[in-house]
Structure 1
């Protein structure tokens, strides 16, 4: 199998698969000069291979902190995180993060050099194989014609595509995206959501995606974990596979978005919302 095709292969086994990512009772804390602040409290969830799993919650609920813990940048004060059965204790090439800020692209490197850089720095591939794989993923995100361009010449949406291509070129076990489209204008953000879903249809990578937008969560995710306001606790897990960009504006989509809002902010209405939504589509956590 060549450098391009290796990894991101669909499983043909009919056997049920174990969860790829297991987050078990994870509490995360950080220190201020005055005190210790708890960001999340005993959060548990599982992500299966090829899932598009979304962490959804209001600002300050700890969802980005949780993503950083999965990446290995932060250690839990309680609980554990396992990827493919191995405990996460530090960053690794099996987890690649795409952040909101696209100044993560070194400005002195061309687009193709940016995509190749982690492959070479980690010694994952030698230069000829890294070049081949970089070209492959630039073609997937529609930027082959801009391979020799520099980041300062690109639009925000194009920089986002480079960041995604660079991450996927590493062929991680799981792609971590921390509000990657939040800095983009509305039209570009919608286009990037569409392109991300098209890319997932073709490559079938596993995605853990952070957002505070209910609509984006329903469009991007096939499963959504709802986190309460600070400190983040699991409110519910929702199966959202039936929604996509074509669902926007539909009555069912809008009703579900409104009910998710109530689940996030109106704790007393959880039982009523559970009755309104299909029981098979939602699991209330409290």
Structure 2
């Protein structure tokens, strides 16, 4: 078993075992009318089964673009993304995305139908099987009583819970969440974080989660990758499984948040050297 420590972050990464998801020296680019812009530069990290892995960084660091690349929507300009050892080349039902926007549910379908639809189309379940599965996961997110409601009658938090139920019902290898709670008010956001962690405790799925909130990253994540401002490069990777919603007011939590802030926003010439791709290959421990 090996450990790697970033001198500024002050938190260890511990490892052993084979990764489920590998992002290997991935650079991502997008075109503007005038030029090609590099969003990330040679980013490497591993995600293990049952990880709650968070991509954390300031706006414009390419974290959402990285998530889309893992989903198969954006091809790398260089490097490779592998899931279970197979190169990711296109979207697939083994990677389901929950976006920030509330309007990701077709408004003409009921809550139950929204969850059933991909089960029938992508998984080939019968109508009865899809309905049973949909109700199981709607119950998990506390919305079984709203199965026949339409999305326009739901609050923003409820719509996100339907989107999470729909994603989990597909039983993806990796659940991808792109700042899913950013547009919610503070109380609803905290409740959604609680519910997400409770779902993870129940189902132990693998999560790749994007946020720009240091506090949310510490609460939601078991491991966190820190990305520098544009273009996104790896600043550090650290363990955060010791934190929870209950520890937010603790001195240890605040100290970790301050250290992460300094690591993210220090000037490049002052920053500690980034880990090599080999040293960034952190592995999972329970």
SS of the residue 1:26 aligns to: strand
Q: Is 1:144 the equivalent of 2:144?
A: yes
**1:155 and 2:155 equivalent?**
yes
Which residue is 1:92 aligned to? Answer: 92
Partner of 2:11: none
Segments ≥4 residues shifted beyond 2 Å: 267-272
Q: Deviations 1:158-216 (Å, cap 9, x if unpaired)?
A: 11100000000000000000000001001000000000000000000000000000000
Structure 1 position 172 matched with structure 2 position 172: yes
- State the shift of 1:96 in Å: 0.2
**Contact 1:182 1:189 survives alignment (8 Å):** yes
Is structure 2 residue 189 aligned with structure 1 residue 189?
A: yes
CA distance in 1, matches of 2:123, 2:243: 40
Please name the residue that 1:109 is paired with: 109
Equivalent residue number for residue 223 of structure 1: 223
Query: Cα–Cα, structure 1 residues 223 and 123, in superposed 2: closer, same or farther, change >3 Å?
Result: closer
Find the aligned partners of 1:254 and 1:181 in 2 and give their Cα distance. 21
Determine the C-alpha separation between the residues in 2 that align with 1:30 and 1:157: 32
Residue 254 (structure 1) shift: 0.6
How many residue pairs get aligned? The number is 258
Whether contact under 8 Å (1:137, 1:165) holds in the other structure is yes
> What is the rounded CA distance, in whole Å, between the counterparts of 2:100 and 2:188 in structure 1?
14
Q: Which residue of 1 aligns with 2:38?
A: 38
Q: Matched residue of 2:38: which SS?
A: strand
Aligned position for 2:8:
none
Please, which runs of 5 or more residues in structure 2 have no aligned partner?
A: 1-15, 274-281
State the partner residue of 1:248.
Answer: 248
What SS does structure 2 have at the residue aligned with 1:191? helix
CA root-mean-square deviation? 1.4
Q: CA deviation at 1:124?
A: 3.0
- 1:123 Cα deviation (Å)? 4.1
Q: Please, what TM-score do these two structures have when normalized by structure 2? A: 0.88
The aligned residue for residue 12 of structure 2 is: none
Question: Which residue in the other structure is 1:265 paired with?
Answer: 265
- Alignment partner of 1:124 is 2:92: no
- In the alignment, the residues of structure 1 paired with residue 100 and residue 121 of structure 2 have an alpha-carbon distance, to the nearest angstrom, of 22
Unaligned runs of at least 5 residues, structure 1: 1-15, 273-281
Higher helix share: 1
Higher relative contact order at CA 8 Å, sep ≥6: structure 1 or structure 2?
2
SS at match of 1:28: strand
Contact 2:24 2:45 survives alignment (8 Å): yes
Judge conservation of contact 1:263–1:269 (CA < 8 Å) in 2: no
Partners of 1:107 and 1:116 in 2: how far apart?
A: 14
Describe the SS at the equivalent of 2:81.
strand
Q: Verify the 8 A CA contact 2:55 2:211 in the aligned structure 1.
A: yes
